[in-house]
Amino acid sequence: MSYSFFTGAACALLLLAAARIGSGYRQRRGSVWLLVLIFGAIVYLLRPLLDDQGTLADLLIDLPTLLIPGAFWLFTHQLCSDKAPFPHWGWALIGLELLVDLASQLHAHPYFYLLAQPFKLGLIGAGLVTLLQQLQSDLVAERRQIRIGLLIAIGSYMVVVVCAEFLFSYFPIPAGIPTLHAVMASALAFAACLWLLALSPRALEESLPPMTDDAETLAGQPAALPAAPAQQQALDENQRLLLDKLQQHMHSGGYRHTGLTIRELAEQLGSREHTLRALINQHLGFRNFNEYLNQFRIDEASRRLADPDEAHLPVLTIALDIGYRSLSPFNAAFKRRHDQTPTEFRREQLPV
């Protein structure tokens, strides 16, 4: 009875969250995968209350649950990667995991079940790594909160559930574990709804990039530099002084420091880190600190690559001079700006 009560409460809260996401964030990338994740969680919670219907019917019922690990990775990617498309090899891994899980559900061979669990953990782990990547350089306060919440609560919870499923498939389930699971799920669902609907109702809207980014990418247009927000509060005196100091510091070459972090930059400017984050994000329009640095670095690289006096310098030398640790991130940032590699750009600017 307790399990049914807490399961019903968790499902009701998840449906409430899904309704809010479906009505308010339809034009935001990643919202679809978040809805798939929520629907899969609802089916997973309700599954023990449903009788077996036969192999095919059970497979159709379980299908939304099988999509949870892949949907989690896809959502975290859309949340954290403003411009980069999801990698093709990632789709291949998700498809392979789904095929292995389907074979396990159909009892094709006992080994498929043993393979399915590492695949699930692998996809969930990929999502957790995505959340960790560039967490420090993320300038959107709401998105940083979502990253941390997903890392601590949802990601850890999913890892525990997958490991517990595997363990209890070979050992008896102790009394009270299903109820404890339902209580934990309802607590997480309540916390998510409280935060999403009351404490920070614009968090997802501020965190997920708009659909228009996809249209520009598909059209093959190079990414434009971020524009300052159309609506922003006027700068107070302290913010104006910090902005002036920031601009002077960057135009004098402050961006050339290799491995520069926003924490180090704040220390150099004598400012608090959260104040500098808000200034760059809300008043300069950048969502990621590395993209802010790339604005200056790629500007200098473009000038030097087009300068006949520096035609003898290798591209790597220029990349290292302006603050990059290696050639790969420089090439990626340069191509996002100019839609061509540095070598192609130099060849075009300095024809033989």
349 and 306 Cβ atoms separated by less than 8 Å? yes
CATH number for the segment(s) 230-349: 1.10.10.60
77 and 133 Cβ atoms separated by less than 8 Å? no
- This model's pTM is above 0.75: yes
Residue ranges covered by each domain of the chain: 2-214, 230-349
User: Residues 115-166: pLDDT tens digits?
Assistant: 888 888 899 999 999 988 888 888 888 888 888 888 878 887 888 888 887 7
User: Residues 33-60: pLDDT tens digits?
Assistant: 889 988 988 888 887 777 666 666 677 7
Tokens (6 digits) for 249: 């510091």
Tokens (6 digits) for 175: 């009394």
Task: Please determine, for residue 223, whether its predicted confidence score (pLDDT) is greater than 50.
Answer: no
**pLDDT band at 315; cut points 50, 70, 90:** very high
- The region that residue 134 occupies, defined by phi over 0 for left and psi between -120 and 50 for alpha, beta otherwise, is left
User: Residues 211-221: pLDDT tens digits?
Assistant: 664 434 433 44
